[in-house]
Amino acid sequence: MIEIKNISKQFGKLMALDRLNLQLNAGESIALIGPNGCGKTTLIKSILGMVLPTRGDIIFNGKSIRNDDLYRNDIGYMPQIGRYPENMTIGQVLKMIKSIRHAAQAQDYDLYNRFELGNMLHKRMRTLSGGTTQKVSAVLAFLFKPRVLILDEPTAGLDPIAAEILKAKIIEARSRGCLILITSHLLSELEDIVSQVVFMQEGKLILHKNVDELKYLTGEDSLARSIVHLLKTEVV
């Protein structure tokens, strides 16, 4: 579904992504793991077309994403920190996003209802707590029933109940056959969600394995311990 073909991204002298190749298929739920600054967000933003790779190409459903905007209609994205026009209310932001999408696209109000955003529509974005902003981002990511979900630290800042609601929603999307790419430093929460792990270091792909293979390779019995093992020992 998404093919990353030998992409590099240079910021000045820094190689944020270094000749990275990856194949991400529908129905897979993939944890993107690596130390701070290893290039996870740069990879995610490259897939979203928010960062232009210096070299290489990204193929989405068989087509290069260069000079294409429409592929993004298939992606729901939750950024690490959502940034919205400060003076707009939650209601105005939702209305604006819906107006730029196709009116006919099916909409999913499950998270909107469960997070009770309907009671907060008049609140301005600049006045929201970090957790409430994160709820708005989650609602927007799932609103148009995307086939691909890219979630950058999705539960950071959410209270435990909201985090559980979102986690259940991610698991449901996975069971519907969505492709999910997720970064999280909360390793225990990945356990129930992911089927594969992609491990990066200094912009390079170090490993891409199924969770069971990874547990076998590291000799650990949980995903969290396997990931800690990876982070502590350099290259497997």
Ligand X SMILES: Nc1ncnc2c1ncn2[C@@H]1O[C@H](COP(=O)(O)OP(=O)(O)OP(=O)(O)O)[C@@H](O)[C@H]1O
Cα separation of 132 and 117, whole Å? 9
By CB under 6 A, residue 79 contacts ligand X: no
Cα separation of 10 and 46, whole Å? 12
Q: In whole angstroms, how close is the CB of 175 to ligand X at the nearest point?
A: 28
Q: In whole angstroms, how close is the CB of 135 to ligand X at the nearest point?
A: 21
First to last CA, the chain: 27
What 8-state DSSP symbol labels residue 155? T
Nearer to ligand X, 13 or 122 (CB): 13
Query: Nearest-5° angle of CA 80, CA 138, CA 86?
Result: 70
Cα separation of 141 and 78, whole Å? 6
Q: In whole angstroms, how close is the CB of 40 to ligand X at the nearest point?
A: 4
Residues 32-51 that bind ligand X (CB under 6 A): 34, 36-42
Q: In whole angstroms, how close is the CB of 42 to ligand X at the nearest point?
A: 3
Binding-site string for ligand X from residue 9 to residue 28, where x marks contact by CB under 6 A and - marks none: --x--x-x------------
Nearer to ligand X, 16 or 117 (CB): 16
Produce one character per residue of 76-88: b if its CB has 16 or more CB atoms within 10 Å, e if not: bbbbbebebeeee
Query: Which range of residues in 8-16, 66-74, 87-95, 142-150 is near ligand X by CB under 6 A?
Result: 8-16
Query: By the criterion CB under 6 A, which residues form the site for ligand X?
Result: 11, 14, 16, 34, 36-42
